Structure 1
C-alpha cells in the first residue's frame, strides 16, 4: 500500500526536485566561478545563466514543498510550470540538434556584427581576423595579423559551435524528458489519497 502508491510517488517526486535543486545550484555556482576567473567575459551571459538557475531553484522548491505537504495548489502550479518548461526546452533542444552549418554561420554572423567588444575578444583569443574572409587592410588585434597567416574567425568558431549545439541540444532533450516525468508524477500524486487521513476523505 505504501511504496506502490502514495509514499512511493511522494519520495520519487522529492528526489526529482532535489536533482533540480542540485542542477540549479551548479548553474549559479558555475556562472559565478566563470565570471570570477574571467572565463566568461560577458556580464549578460552570466546574469542570464544565474537567472535560469534561480528560476529552476524556485520551481524545484515549489515542487519539493508541494510534495512534502501534499499541497494541491502548489502541486497544480508546479505541474503547469513544468509543462511549459518542457514545451520550451524540447523545442529549443530539437532546434539546436537540427540546425545546419549554413544556419549556424548566419546566426553567428548576426552576433558578430552586433558587438564590437565581443568581436575584438574573439579575434584575440582565437587568433583570427574578420568573420568570413581575412582582410589585411583592416585593423585586427590578433597576433597572426602582422605575420599575414590568419584564418577567418568563422572557420574557428564553427569548429566549436557544432559540438556545443549538439551537447546543449542533447542535454536539454534529456532534461526535458525528466520534466514530463515530473508532470506525470505530480498529476498522479495529486489524485492519490494520503493513507494517514480519514479513508472517507476525498484527498
Structure 2
C-alpha cells in the first residue's frame, strides 16, 4: 500500500528521524571509542565522523518536532540541512573506507613526530607498547624510543610497536564508521523526499482556509 496520506507521511517521517537519532548516536559512539582508545586522535576523519553524528542528531530532533507539529519553517530548514549533512556524510564515509594502511601510517608518523615526550610516554604506558613502527626506514628512531620506553612489556623484552596496535584499531574503527555512515547516508535522501512531500500536504484537522 502506498503511503500517501497526511498521517502516514507524518508517521513515516517521525520514524525516520528516530532512526537518524540512533544513527547519530552510533556514529558519535564509534568515533569517540576510537579517539578514547588513544590511537586515532590525529586522524581528522574521526573528528569529522563525530561532527556528522552531532549534526545528524540535532537535525533529527528538528525534523521530529517539525513533523509532529507540521511546522513549515522547521521542515524547510530540515530539508536543506539534511541534504548538506548527506553530502558531508557521504564524503567522509567514502574517505574512511578508501583510506589504506599506507595513508594511515603516513598520518600517524607525522603526528608521532610532533608529539612531546610526555604524550609519547603516556601512550606507551597506556597501550603497553614501545616506539611507533619497527620498520627499516625508521629503525634508528624506533631503537631510540625503545631505550626510553617506560612500558611494562619492556621488562619481558616482548613489546609490540605502538603503531601496529594503533593501526589495527584505527582500521577497525574506520571500517565501522565508513560502513555505517555510507549505508545510512542514502536514507537521508529519503528523508528529504518525505519532508518535501509532507510539507506540501494539507493537515485534515486544520482550518480549510489556512495557508499551507
Q: Is the 8 A contact 2:52 2:88 kept in 1?
A: no
**CA distance in 2 between partners of 1:82 and 1:141 (Å):** 48
Q: Is the 8 A contact 2:18 2:64 kept in 1?
A: yes
Matched, 1:164 2:173: yes
Kindly state the Cα deviation for residue 24 of structure 1 after the two structures are TM-superposed.
5.1
SS at match of 1:138: helix
Normalization by structure 1: what TM-score? 0.77
Residue of structure 2 in register with 1:14 after alignment: 14
1:91-170 to 2 correspondence within 5 Å? 91-116=91-116, 117-133=118-134, 134-135=142-143, 138-170=147-179
**CA distance in 2 between partners of 1:96 and 1:13 (Å):** 29
SS at match of 2:88: helix
SS at match of 1:196: coil
| Residues 146-180 of structure 1: CA deviation (Å, up to 9, x unaligned) | 44332322222222222221111001112212222
1:1-203 to 2 correspondence within 5 Å? 4-23=4-23, 55-116=55-116, 117-133=118-134, 134-135=142-143, 138-197=147-206, 203=212
**CA distance in 2 between partners of 1:151 and 1:55 (Å):** 38
Q: Is the 8 A contact 1:83 1:179 kept in 2?
A: yes
Normalization by structure 2: what TM-score? 0.74
**CA distance in 2 between partners of 1:91 and 1:9 (Å):** 29
**CA distance in 2 between partners of 1:91 and 1:51 (Å):** 13
Residue of structure 1 in register with 2:137 after alignment: none
**CA distance in 1 between partners of 2:25 and 2:101 (Å):** 33
Cα distance change on mapping 1:102 and 1:191 into 2, 3 Å: same
**CA distance in 2 between partners of 1:41 and 1:105 (Å):** 15
Q: How many residues align?
A: 194
Cα distance change on mapping 1:74 and 1:197 into 2, 3 Å: same
Q: Is the 8 A contact 1:18 1:64 kept in 2?
A: yes
SS at match of 2:148: coil
**CA distance in 2 between partners of 1:170 and 1:50 (Å):** 15
Q: Is the 8 A contact 1:93 1:173 kept in 2?
A: yes
Kindly state the Cα deviation for residue 54 of structure 1 after the two structures are TM-superposed.
5.5
**CA distance in 2 between partners of 1:51 and 1:148 (Å):** 41
| Residues 24-81 of structure 1: CA deviation (Å, up to 9, x unaligned) | 56778x69x98xxxx6679x99xx7987666444322211121112111111101111
**Which blocks of at least 5 consecutive residues in structure 1 are unaligned?**
none
